[in-house]
Amino acid sequence: MVLCGAFVSPNVGAVSDVAHARHRPVGGRRTATLSTHRRCSHALLCHAAPTSPASSSISGAQSGADPLKNDLLLRAARGEHVERTPVWLFRQAGRHLPEYNEYKKRTNKNFLELLRDPKDVAEVTMQPVRRYDVDAAILFSDILVIVEAMGLKVEMPGGKGITVPEPIASPEDLAARVSLKLDVQQALGHVLEAVREIKKELAGRVPLIGFSAAPWTLLFYMVGGSSRKNQQNGTQWLEQHPEESRKLLDALTDIVIDYLCLQVDHGADILQVFEAMGEFISEPHFEEFALPCLQRIVTEIRARRPGVSVMVFPRGASYSLPALAAAGYDVLTIDTSTSRQEARAAFPSATLQGNYAPSLLVDSSAEHVRATVREMLSELGPQQLIANLGEGLTGKEKPELVDEFVRSVHNISEELIHGA
């Protein structure tokens, strides 16, 4: 039964700062204002994402693992009071770290080759945990591992980002080249083994975040091949092949659900869903095609793995946050274009995540980082918050400024909490 596309959402507006230039209109996209957002019911606007069923600080799947020494992020995700704001960073493992670049050189492996070896994945995942006082590790992986497992070639040519060099050209091409059924345990077993290996390395130090791309983001790459060109292909597929799009999205939703549940079974303590290409879909198309998939993902995970919190990041599609909160996501991530004051006003008791600009960690000063962290914490509040970036690290950031960001979140949030 096709479930993606059968959902009709309320006409929710944006919680976004429409002045941010990088969110250009795509496919006739309408940029809603907060006034539109406020026309929704008060119950939806002020909806706190439902907390997961009562659980200990260690998820049921982890009962045999080392007890967590730091469960700050898990408590914040559940909306519990914390003594300081937890912090981690999108793409915290990887190319901004000297030790990562040295490891690649020493092993003579590129990014995609590292992903295929659980030992390499565990090592790279641990590098930022050793360097910074972050409150979580996140699986070192890529959003396109599912696409590759389904049979499409994935490459990462230098300076061009990750790509699908031979994207799907038509529904006939899809039927000929891609199987919509996937044995996730078999096809992505190396990733699941890496999750288990990371948990051993962490030894209870901090929680481990498992993650997956969302179905629309996967479809976007499968038919367009890149985030830098052919950006219109995804929307064209939805418009020209709506039934085939629903079929593909529904299959991807099944795979994402299985993949995330298996990550929990192998050791992940909390999950993150990335709708990374929300920028390249119109609001009506998002509501018709992307949102039903995101809704089913969280519904199924809460049913299959109760007690495990789920975070969501609709990058470039902040207008969807009210509907995602209503769907049951525990943590709502805001991007760099989203007004913090408007987001907190709309979700006064929900746990938010974000939205520090990584550009401030490239060529700034420790003093400026501390000042801007204080600004972020003052606007969002130190409780019901997981401090993070509004988009991933690019590789140009200075480790000393990243370290200052992490330490400033902890120090300033403690000051705000204990001074309240």
37 pLDDT higher than 60: no
Name the strand (E) or helix (H) holding 246. Answer: helix 242-266
Is-catalytic flag, 196? no
User: Are 322 and 44 within 8 A, CB to CB?
Assistant: yes
Residue 25: which pLDDT band, with cuts at 50, 70 and 90?
A: very low
Rounded to an integer, what distance in angstroms lies between the CA atom of residue 208 and that of residue 269? 5
Is-catalytic flag, 120? no
Is-catalytic flag, 319? no
Rounded to an integer, what distance in angstroms lies between the CA atom of residue 152 and that of residue 167? 8
Q: Which of 132, 221, 259, 356 is catalytic?
A: 221
54 pLDDT higher than 70: no
3-class SS shares of the chain: helix, strand, coil, % to 5 = 50, 10, 45
48 pLDDT higher than 80: no
User: Are 97 and 401 within 8 A, CB to CB?
Assistant: no
244 pLDDT higher than 50: yes
Q: Residue 4: its pLDDT value, please?
A: 37
CATH class label, 34-419: alpha beta
- Percentage of residues in the chain with pLDDT exceeding 90? 79
Reported as a single tens digit per residue, the pLDDT across 112-161 is 999 999 999 999 999 999 999 999 999 999 999 999 999 999 988 665 67
CB atoms within 10 A of CB 118: 18
Is-catalytic flag, 91? yes
Q: What is the mean pLDDT of residues 198-218?
A: 98
* Residue located via tokens 């080392």: 66
Is-catalytic flag, 39? no
Q: Which residues pair with 386 in a beta bridge?
A: 353
Q: Residue 269: its pLDDT value, please?
A: 98
3-state class (DSSP) for residue 318: helix
Residues near 192 by beta carbon (within 8 Å), at least 6 away in sequence: 185, 262, 263, 265, 266
Between 79 and 14, the more confident residue is 79
The answer, yes or no, to whether the previous bond of 355 is cis (omega within 30 of 0) is yes
Return the closest-CA partner of residue 152 out of 177, 187, 123, 129: 177
Residues near 106 by beta carbon (within 8 Å), at least 6 away in sequence: none
Q: Which of 71, 135, 142, 403 is catalytic?
A: 142
Rounded to an integer, what distance in angstroms lies between the CA atom of residue 337 and that of residue 303? 33
Name the pTM for this structure: 0.86
Q: Residue 9: its pLDDT value, please?
A: 38
DSSP characters for 67-121?
Answer: PPS--HHHHHHTT---SS--B--TT-SSTTSHHHHHHHHHHT--HHHHHT-HHHH
CB atoms within 10 A of CB 299: 14
Rounded to an integer, what distance in angstroms lies between the CA atom of residue 35 and that of residue 108? 54
Start-to-end CA distance of the chain, whole Å, equals: 52
User: Are 209 and 133 within 8 A, CB to CB?
Assistant: no
- Dihedrals phi, psi of 210, to nearest 5 degrees: -95, 160
Q: What is the mean pLDDT of residues 371-400?
A: 97
